[in-house]
Every structure is written in C-alpha cells, then in structure tokens.
Amino acid sequence: MADGERIRSGAELVDPGSILVHPTRDELPDLPIFNGVEEPLVETLLASSSTRQYRAGGLIVRQGEQAPDLHVVLRGIVDLTLLSRKSECGVLLLSSKDLLLPATTLFHEPALVSARALTNTKILLLTGGAVEAALNRSTAFAANLMKPMSGQWRMAVRNILDLNCRSAAQRVAAFLLRIADLQPDTPAPVLPIAKRHLAVRLGITAETLSRMLQTVADHGLYLRGRTIVIRDRAAIEEFCGPDPYPQKDERILDVFAL
Amino acid sequence: MADGERIRSGAELVDPGSILVHPTRDELPDLPIFNGVEEPLVETLLASSSTRQYRAGGLIVRQGEQAPDLHVVLRGIVDLTLLSRKSECGVLLLSSKDLLLPATTLFHEPALVSARALTNTKILLLTGGAVEAALNRSTAFAANLMKPMSGQWRMAVRNILDLNCRSAAQRVAAFLLRIADLQPDTPAPVLPIAKRHLAVRLGITAETLSRMLQTVADHGLYLRGRTIVIRDRAAIEEFCGPDPYPQKDERILDVFAL
DNA sequence: CGCATAATTGATTCAGCTCAAACCGAGTGG
DNA sequence: CCACTCGGTTTGAGCTGAATCAATTATGCG
C-alpha cells in the first residue's frame, strides 16, 4: 500500500540495498568541499553521513520545507524549480559535486524551490549538526562552502540576464552549446535530460522550445536524438549574442550546474 | 581635463573631505559582518579599510573587472545591472549594510554586472588581503559572510521566479508593497529611486512601468509623487499573486537588498 | 527662465503563450 | 506479430502582454 503510493507518486528512493550509511572517502568521488580540510574532520563528517538514491522524477526537497542535512549531488541531474499548479518555473540544474540548496540547510530557511531528480540520482547527506560543528572548527571547510555558493549566485545572475536580454532561441542555443562544451572528452556530446525539462529550465514552453530548436538548427547547431551536433561553431556563437564571460569559469568555483 | 572627464562620465567620487581612511567602529553603524568576531580582528580589518562616497550615477564596480576590496554599502542605493549598448538589465538593488559583489572580491572573478550608485552612496572598503586573512582566522567572520551570500542567492532566485511567473503589473505591485513594508516606522513610505531605475530592476521598460502603475492603482496601491500609498491592502496582496514566502526573511540573513 | 532629463501617452508590432490537433516511439498485451 | 495505448514531441492558428517608436508633457536644476 505504502509502497504502491510511493511508486505512483513519482518514485522516491530506490534500491535500498545500495544506500551507504557511513560512506568512507574511497567510496566517494573526490569532493571539492573536502579540499584542504583536516583529515580527522573529514572522517567525522563522513561518520555522520549517508547516501540516498532517487529515481527520475523523485522529489528530493519540497519547496517551503527546510532540509536539515546538507545535500551533495554525487550522480545525476537535479533541477531546482518552483512547482505550482498549472506551471513549473525552473531556476537551475545541478549535477555531480554540486551542493543542493546549501543556504536552506545552513540557515534553516524554508526552501524557495523544490529539488527534483531528473535522472536517477545519488545524493550524499551530511547531517546539519556535523556540518555546523565543522564550520565552527575549520576555516578551510567554510571556504569550501563559500565557493560553490558564490558559483551558484553567479549562475543565478546569468539566468536573470539571459531571461532579460536574450531571446528564447538564443537561450536554447547558448544552453546547448554550454552543455556540449562541458563534455570535452566525449566524442558526441549529449543532452542529459528530457526536452520538457530543458524548456522549464529556460523559462519557455515545450512548444516554443520545439520551434526554437528549428531556428537554432538554421544557425549551425542541431539535435539528432539526444546528441548535440555543432555544425557551424562560429555561426552559432554569433547567434547566441551577448555572453560577457563565456568561459565556463563557474567550475573553478566548484560549481557544475547547468 | 581629467576632472572634466570624470564629471561628464557620470560623476564618481565626491567630497574627498568626508572620506575616512581608517574609520573606527564608532564612526560606522553596527555591521552584521562584525557580529561575534573577536574585537582585535575587527580592529585589524578596520585598520586596512577606508570609506568612499559616490554621487548618484557613479560607477562603483565595472562589469568584467574585479574588485580587489570588499565593498559594504553604508548608505544609499546601489544597483547591480548589466550595462550594454541599447539596454540595461537589472539584477538587484542593494542598500545599507549589504555586501556588494562579495564573490567577485573573495574569488577574484570578473564581475558579471556593474555596480552603480543610484543615490548618493557611501561605501566601506575592506582590503582583500585583510579579509582573506580574517577568513583564515575566524570562523565567525566566515559565517558572517556566508549569511548575506545566502540571502543574495535567495533574492536572485526570487527575481528569477518573478520574471517567469508574474506579470509586469504584479512585479510592480509586489515590489512597491515590499518597499513600503521595509519602512515600517515611517508614516509615509517612499520610493527611494527614480522610476526608470525601478523599471530596469523589474525587467520592464519605463513606458510599461508607467502603464502598469495605472493598472496597479486600480487594485489598491498608487504613488503620489514618490510616496507609496496603500489604499486597499487586501486587494493589492491578492493582485500580486503567488509569493510563496512573503515574510521579509532575507533580513535575518543580513540582506537588505530590494 | 530655459534647457536637459524624466515621465507619460498613443499607435503599432512582435515574441512567445495558449489551445487544439496530429504525430511518434516505446511498452504492453492479446 | 500486430493493435493499442500513453507519454512526449511536433505543428498549426490565433491571441496577448510587453516592447518599440514617436510625440508630448512634466520636472527638476543651473
């Protein structure tokens, strides 16, 4: 019954067998938040931590509630959106190594938006208490949290600028270009999420996205299935219009958001 | 000649006589960034600091450049906008006690937007070196910086949501209502900036703002000169539409932005 | 007083939304 | 193997909110 509910309501946790209760450092990828932090402190943090898996569509944090634990995305794509009846309104997509609504956890504020897994997703949870304790002890750890917070602020500002100064087609083009550039080693860059979620992220309707993809295709970039094909780089960059600092410098702020 | 340039280009510093080179604590208002920080450390920070005054229209930080020093707004209204030929694109308005682009200073990133004084403005500058040193020494200070960074992230998210889910008229109404509510002690709340700057902040044109003000007036809120008159509170709140967490809880995050 | 800047008003245009219908691909079950 | 849903995507037609362009009126301000 309860199980049936779960599945019908969009599927939250999956596969309890793979959940780690006290992950050790070598069970985790190298996370920027631990850079330069004294090893014993890292151990303490991990001792209070656990991991969780969500399947595509699962709600991770509900808007209006607060997350007592610090969430770190280990795998998958998470979107931050305001879910209201009738319309969704996207703010940001998070991916591996990103912090998920850190401010909510650190300052006990109700989340303004919901966090939702768009793909199967694995999350690391550090308990609020342990994080707070670590923050009181380690300036390195504090700096490691400030960096991604800055980076996410930057992403938010970019988003605001895009919404105001760029057309729908330009936003689509710029986003796909960015996605492609973030996968430099792969031969064929791929769009990791469904189109309708992309539309939400870009603040347009699915119908408009569909039409804009055609426009964009005329300017040198198109989708074949989920793979992104850049036919004419110069043209498409030109088309994107003003992107003041196109270098993906959010990564040096430990932000991997999209 | 150089002087002439300055004045023509929009007026930067004014009245050098009133600039403090090493302000002491009692020459400054109580700033949240110093809360709970060990007194000697505060002294050190202040010893490296100075204040600056800008007149309305003056550029404080130019987009693309980085601010080596940490700016704190002591007095006045500062707007963060992308200035491009043809169009300005506003992100946020800062006021007393707000940090101005802290991320730019802390992580040596080029600013995505310019900071411009909309009124006569006084700024406290803490040198980057001193701030960095303080951050390495005091977790309290680090926490004091994280709080406003979180608050500004929150404001940015609100802005994104507003741009996507609210009509121009709703944004105008909600903004004026908020401004009024932030002046609880004053008998007649007042709009502190020019209308055209308000328009930029709300992502609309001055013409549209003018028209929307008429619409908004029909719903219980109007301007008489610069003072904001709330004729029918219930009606105007209803009109504003979805504001998930209307309490001005950014203030507890040491953010006073608009 | 007179000039420059800001605000309003009107007429027109257009990007993106809405609504409705057709289409398509992947499961599913007979 | 095919028919049949059922999401998700595409296409089309029409609407509308806000931008643009242009002209006028207000408001400082030296």
pLDDT tens for each residue of A71-127: 999 999 999 999 987 889 999 999 999 999 999 999 999 999 999 999 999 999 999
Confidence of residue B247 (pLDDT cuts 50, 70, 90): low
pLDDT at residue B1 in the model: 36
| Distance between CA atoms of residues B99 and B80, nearest Å | 12
| Distance between CA atoms of residues B96 and B102, nearest Å | 15
Query: Which among B112, B146, B151 has CB closest to A158?
Result: B112
Is A169 (CB) below 7 Å from strand C? yes
pLDDT in tens, B128-167: 999 999 999 999 999 999 999 999 999 999 999 999 999 9
pLDDT in tens, B12-26: 445 444 566 777 777
C-beta of residue B254 within 8 angstroms of C-beta of residue B147: yes
Is the minimum CB–CB distance between B113 and chain A shorter than 8 Å?
A: yes
Distance from CA of A232 to the nearest CA of B (A): 26
Chain B contacts in chain A segment 166-225 (CB below 8 A): 203
Is the pTM higher than 0.85? The answer reads: yes
Is the minimum CB–CB distance between A101 and chain B shorter than 8 Å?
A: no
C-beta of residue A150 within 8 angstroms of C-beta of residue B148: no
Q: Which two tokens stand for residue B66?
A: 């980085």
Distance from CA of B166 to the nearest CA of A (A): 11
φ, ψ for residue A183, nearest 5 deg: -120, 65
pLDDT in tens, B86-125: 889 999 999 999 999 999 999 999 999 999 999 999 999 9
- DSSP codes of every residue in chain A: -HHHHHHHTT--B--GGG--SS--GGGSPPPGGGTT--HHHHHHHHHTEEEEEE-TT-EEE-TTS--SSEEEEEES-EEEEEEETTEEEEEEEE-TT-EESHHHHHHTPPPSSEEEESS-EEEEEE-HHHHHHHHHH-HHHHHHHHHHHHHHHHHHHHHHHHHHHS-HHHHHHHHHHHHHHT--SSSS-B--S-HHHHHHHHTS-HHHHHHHHHHHHTTTEEEETTEEEES-HHHHHHHH---S--S-TTGGGT----
pLDDT in tens, A128-149: 999 999 999 999 999 999 999 9
Chain A contacts in chain B segment 41-80 (CB below 8 A): 63-64, 80
